[in-house]
Structure 1
Amino acid sequence: MKPPISIKTYSSTANLPQNWNELAIDNIFLNKDYLAILEKSAPRNMFCHFIGLFKDNELVGIALSQFLDLNKMESFGERDKCVKTAVRNTVFKNFCSHILIIGNNMLTGQNAYSFSDKIDKTQGLQALKTASKKLEIIFKNKGLKVHITTFKDFPIEETTAFQQAGFQNYFQYSTQPNMVFNISNHWKSEQDYFDALSKKYRDQYKRARKKEEGVEKRKMHLEDIIKHEETIYDLYYHVAKNAHFNTFFLPKNHFRTFKEILKDKFLFYGYFLDEKLIGFNTLIKNGEVMDTYFLGYDESVQREKMLYLNMLYDMIAYSINKGFKKIIFARTALEIKSSVGAKPMEMYGYAQHTNPFADLVFEKAFSYLEPTVSWKERNPFK
């Protein structure tokens, strides 16, 4: 018989076990430093807990949970104004406004947990299911009833472990794919990437690069981020509020906090036109993987200068030059990311409504409410 797993939840990184980072060695997004960023600058409608799993008093698993209170959201996204959107917003406010996530709602990919080889994945997932129930009680004691508990974002090969861990009563869902750019071993420079493109996409590259003439790209340091904080937030907020669907908005100090804590592992690039900041993008070094993070731009300049496409090319060029193996381009803007060479990777999640009656219709409601995005996959390479 397997020894039982004990569970501890923490609301402060100061209280985490000393050897926490030993289990986060393969994923910066479970590392104490990153968790400290969440602690200091999470969205105002998000509460984070950090979960430790113990076997014989030894730390054998770590996980992140986020509680979202959608009642604190002014807007869920302003791009789609229609009856369906209005219905969706009403349903979310009244029946789905308190969401408990095992995972990270601010990123795409498996950033939920890490287990040591002292426990198998099934055992770890069973313990996390128990941990989610404990967290429901914690929030209930604060007067916050959890409506939905969800475990997100897992590749297809992880779904078997969830079934074995007893998640059959949860609704398995798949939303927009994670766009992943794999860097060829043969590429050593941006020119190698360009040479691998077919003529149509080499022409696209040349057209975009020509359009951005006059735009200056600058690597921004902490003092620069602080100096331009108001403009940075305005550029970010413009892009965020025009997304299909939003469950949070970053606080103004988020990028400053990131740079303060992660230092050179967090890259911030500003794009200037006539000395005015017109856009920015951010990258996070995660071992051999480069994760793209939030960006922002001035819409009036973006189209004319093909700013977003040029940002994608810049991220690719930097990642090739620095020897990264892949880039996580995440969700949104699927077709344009596909046009530069990113491939879709289906991600799966598990969700359950805490009300048994609501849970019966949850699957149908989710399918109706989840924004659908039609796009065409591209293959830009020869």
Structure 2
Amino acid sequence: MNIPAALQSIKKSVIERNKERKRLRGPADLQYAIADSVTMLDAGAWQTLAQQCGFFMSIEYLAALEQVLPLNLSARYALIFDGLGADRQLVAAVYMQLADISLAQARPEKPAEPEKKWTLPLEQLAQHAKQRILVCGNLLSFGQHGIAFAKDVDTKLAWHGVVEVLYRVRQAEKLAGKTHFVMIKDLHDPYIEQAAHLDNLSYRYVETEPNMVLTLAPEWKNYDDYLASLASKYRGNIRNAIFKPMDEAGCVIENLADLAPVQDQIFALYKAVQINADFRPFELLPEYFVALQAAAAERFRCSVVRQNGRLLGFLISIADGDTAIAYHIGFDRAAAGDLPIYLRLLHAGIADAIALGCKQISYGRTALEPKASLGAKPQTFGVFVRHRQPVLNKLMKRLLLGIEHDDAPERNPFKKAKPGKTETEN
């Protein structure tokens, strides 16, 4: 090996990296409008950018969400322009959330003990040791719901603008205290590749658990069509292990047209699941679900399990373009000990997505095995994070990002194509 040549290559690489780092640390040649409410910004400009990004970047959704955000979250918004005056060009819209999170939220919630009048020092530390996180994206959903780029934009310039917006917001928030983490949430292709150069600005990419996506075949006009497409073993398991015990217990699936009369019941079912989560960055407000239904309108579906009139579980799905986002779920944990309520709700999500006219279902992270058994496949998700260095922050970073995560199992529940036929001919 030619050592001088190799050293020359390393030197060139270091120079290029330092040059890129210097560029990113400097201001982009862009202009910004940053606000505490989406209603303070140019509505036409925001909608122009957001309409190609779906429901979760729409003004209707974001304005409604502002009114029912969890108590430890607050929203920030930005529009990025290239140029001034009438000739200015839209570059991107950015949605952000500031979250105050304690270490106690990074583990399942312990049940209250009325007779206990004192807490251990570690319990007190967990309650009071808080981290402030600036998130580019939406903690209440999964997916890239934080940035809407203009068509044919220079992505390198646009990303430079995004990180400058995050820097400006973080600096402004010093009045309320230090921001320990900056996170760009739930990126997938092509965004991961576009943002790869942000490592020059100390953003670190961390892969999280995958998003499980079920592709809906065009010929499936209803849930029975999906069921008929499954191999006999899977179809039999669903009928015997899910449908049969639910039917024998007198459980029925219904679609709720109006959540307002059962708002408190829906919240209680959500809370029953939420308190057992390993990481709980927020707690939804009871009125959130009704506000979400009003904002989503015809895009909204809520399937519920009832037993003798009592609600045992729910699944909320929203049509976001061609994708049904099946993401809010709750169920009675005691009843779920005897009945496959969670699995039945996952199947209800298929019926809802087909009824909404969607082409795929985004089931999100966690519970990879049952979602894979439906036929869902993993979509790589990750975050970019920039953080400070104290030991406490390193611990929070590990808990926050879920660095150690499970891989989705390989499952193919569908019938195999017969010789001489394609899969679509089955």
In structure 2, the residue matched to 1:17 is 42
Of 16-25 and 166-175, the range deviating more from structure 2: 166-175
In structure 2, the residue matched to 1:216 is 252
1:184–1:348 Cα change, 3 Å: same
Please list every run of 5 or more consecutive structure 1 residues that lacks an aligned counterpart in the other structure: none
What is the TM-score with the length of structure 2 in the denominator?
0.79
Structure 2 residue 113 is the aligned partner of structure 1 residue 78: no
In structure 2, the residue matched to 1:146 is 179
The letter for the 1-side match of 2:274 is A
* Equivalent of 2:56 in 29, 38, 44: 29
1:369–1:186 Cα change, 3 Å: closer
* Equivalent of 1:305 in 301, 321, 339: 339
Structure 2 residue 171 is the aligned partner of structure 1 residue 137: yes
Residue 100 of structure 1 and its aligned partner are, at CA, apart by: 0.6
CA distance in 2, matches of 1:162, 1:80: 39
- Contact 2:279/2:400 (<8 A) preserved: no
CA distance in 2, matches of 1:60, 1:365: 31
* Structure 1 residues 1-382: aligned runs within 5 Å: 4-19=29-44, 20-26=46-52, 27-56=54-83, 57-71=88-102, 75-78=105-108, 94=129, 97-117=131-151, 119-141=153-175, 143-164=176-197, 167=200, 169-207=202-240, 208-213=242-247, 214-222=250-258, 225-353=259-387, 355=388, 357-358=389-390, 362=394, 366=398, 370=402, 372-374=404-406, 376-382=409-415
Deviations 1:150-198 (A, max 9, x none): 1111114322221345645212101111111111223233232112212
Q: Which has the larger radius of gyration?
A: 2
CA distance in 2, matches of 1:327, 1:156: 17
Residue 363 of structure 1 and its aligned partner are, at CA, apart by: 9.5
1:372–1:127 Cα change, 3 Å: same
1:368–1:92 Cα change, 3 Å: farther
Deviations 1:97-132 (A, max 9, x none): 111111112222211211112522211111010001
What is the TM-score with the length of structure 1 in the denominator?
0.88
1:90–1:152 Cα change, 3 Å: farther
Residue 88 of structure 1 and its aligned partner are, at CA, apart by: 12
How large is the RMSD of aligned CA atoms in angstroms? 2.9
Secondary structure at 2:282's aligned position in 1? coil
Of 247-256 and 267-276, the range deviating more from structure 2: 267-276
Give the fraction of aligned pairs with identical amino acids, expressed as a percent: 26
Please list every run of 5 or more consecutive structure 2 residues that lacks an aligned counterpart in the other structure: 1-27, 112-120, 416-426
The letter for the 1-side match of 2:257 is H
Asked which structure has the greater RCO (Cα within 8 Å, sep 6+), the reply is 1
Residue 31 of structure 1 and its aligned partner are, at CA, apart by: 0.3
The letter for the 2-side match of 1:216 is V
Q: How many residues align?
A: 370
CA distance in 1, matches of 2:397, 2:35: 33
In structure 1, the residue matched to 2:23 is none
CA distance in 2, matches of 1:74, 1:232: 24
